[in-house]
Structure 1
Amino acid sequence: MRAYHDDEWGTACHDDRALFELLSLEIMQAGLSWRTVLHKRAAFRAAFHDFDYHRVAAMADDMDGVMDGLLANAAIIRNRRKLEAVMANAGAAVALEKDGRTLSAYLWSFVDGTPIEHDIVRHEGVPCSTELSRTMATTMRRDGFRFTGPVVVYSLLQASGMVNDHERGCFLAPEGAERTEPIQ
C-alpha cells in the first residue's frame, strides 16, 4: 500500500495503457477495499493482456467464451457487470483513437491538461465526488464508457494525478497548498 501511495497514486499519468489500467482497477474497486484490488492486480494484468485496450476490446468478439473464463478465474474479482464494463471501456478507448484522440488527451481535457491541487487538511475531508467528477461521468457515459459514475471517476482523477488530494504533511502534497478548485 505504501509503495502504491508513494510511487503511483496521485502522480500525473499520461500513458494511455496505464490510464486504462487505472480506470479498470477503479471500477473493480467500487464497493471493495483498494487493498483487495492491489492484491489482485497481477491477475487482472494477466486476464486483460496487461491492459492493452486494443486486445481487451477484441475480447468482446467472443463475449460468452471470454466471460466464462473470467468468471471462473478465482484470482480476479468476478463481477460480471464490472468485467463487461472493462471490455466496453476498451472499445470506447479504441473509438476515441478512431476519432483522432488519445485516451490521455480525452481524460486530461476535463482538467485542461493541468492537475488540480487541493489543500487537504485531513483525508476524512476528501469528497467521494465533485462537480467535476459528475460532469466527467456524464460525458464519459455519453461517449460509451460504462461503470463510470462520479465516485469511480473521482477516484480515477485522484489516482492518475489529475487531482492532487495528498494530505498536508504528505511529501506529495502541493507546496503551500491552496485550493484551486472548491471541494464540493
Structure 2
Amino acid sequence: MLKTVEGDDSVRRCAWCEAPDFPAYRRYHDEEWGFPVGDETRLFEKLCLEGFQAGLSWRTILAKREAFRAGFAGFDPVRVAAFTEADVQRLLADAGIVRHRGKIEAAIGNARALLAMHARGERLGPLVWSHEETKPAAEPVMRSESPASQALSKALKARGWRFVGPTTVYAFLQSMGVVNDHPSACAGRSRALAARASFRVPS
C-alpha cells in the first residue's frame, strides 16, 4: 500500500506531498493531482512539464512552473509552435526554468505535433482519455509505468512527440486524473473519485 501521513491539519494525505519547507506540494496534491483534466492547453502544458522533469524531481518543476508559463507563452500551443531559434536562446538564458536545449526544443516540437493533430481533426484530450484503465485497481500500487502509459507513449511518439516515454507519461496520467493513485487512506482519493464521476470525457 502506498504510504500516507497525517498533516498538521489532521488530514491524511499521500506521504510525498508533505514537505514543511515547500507548502506548494500540499496545495498541488489537494487541488490538482489526480483530479480529471480534459482541457487541451492544460494537457499540453503538463506533458511538456513532465518532459522537463525527466531526471529531476517534480518539486523542482513545480517551483519553476510560473516561470515556465511565462517563458512558454502560457503553453498556448499555437504560440509555442511559432517559436524560433531566438526563442530557444531566450529560454536557454532564463534562469527561472530548466535550461536544457533538448527539452526546450522538444516542447516546441510537441506544440507543432499537437497542431498537426488538430489539422487532422484529432484532439489530445480524447487520445489521452482513451487510455483510461477500464478496471482500475481498488488500491493503487507502487509502479513507474503501466500498459496504458506504454500505449499512450507509443501513440504520442508516432505523432511526433518527444520526451514522452512510458514513465513520463505515467506521471502525466496520475497528475491529470486518468489514473487515481491516491491510496484509500488519503483524503484526496474520495475527492478525486467524486470529480471523476462528474467529469465529461473529451470527445
Q: Please say if 1:36 is aligned against 2:55.
A: no
Partners of 1:20 and 1:135 in 2: how far apart?
Answer: 18
Deviation at 1:17, TM superposition (A): 0.7
Q: CA separation in 1, counterparts of 2:160 and 2:90?
A: 24
- Indicate the residue corresponding to 1:57 in structure 2: 81
SS across alignment from 1:173: helix
Identical amino acids, percent of aligned pairs: 42
Q: 2: CA distance between counterparts of 1:172 and 1:147?
A: 29
Q: Distance in 2 between matches of 1:108 and 1:78?
A: 31
CA contact (8 A) 1:120 1:126 kept: no
Q: With the length of structure 2 as denominator, give the TM-score of the two structures.
A: 0.77
1:49-80 alpha-carbon deviations (Å, 9 max, x no partner): 11111111111xx2x21111111111100111
Cα displacement (A) at 1:136: 1.4
Matched, 1:152 2:152: no
Q: Is the 8 A contact 1:118 1:163 kept in 2?
A: no
* Contact 1:19 1:103 (8 Å CA) reproduced: yes
CA shift, 1:169, in A, is 0.8
Runs of at least 4 residues of structure 1 off by over 3 A?
116-121
**Is this contact kept in 2: 1:128–1:151, CA < 8 A?**
yes
Q: Give 1:81-120 correspondences, 5 Å limit.
A: 81-111=102-132, 117-120=136-139
1:6 corresponds to 2:30: yes
TM-score, normalised on structure 1?
A: 0.85
Q: CA deviation at 1:174?
A: 4.9
Q: What is the root-mean-square deviation in Å for CA atoms of aligned residues? A: 1.9
5+ residue gaps in structure 1? 178-184
For 1:66, the equivalent position in structure 2 comes to: 87
Number of positions where the alignment pairs a residue of Structure 1 with one of Structure 2:
168
Tell me the amino acid that sits aligned with residue 74 of structure 2. Answer: D
Q: Report the CA distance between 1:111 and its aligned residue.
A: 2.2
In structure 1, C-alpha distance between the alignment counterparts of 2:49 and 2:183, rounded to whole Å: 22
3-state SS in 1 of match to 2:129? helix
Residue 48 (structure 1) aligns with: 72
Aligned to 1:161: 177
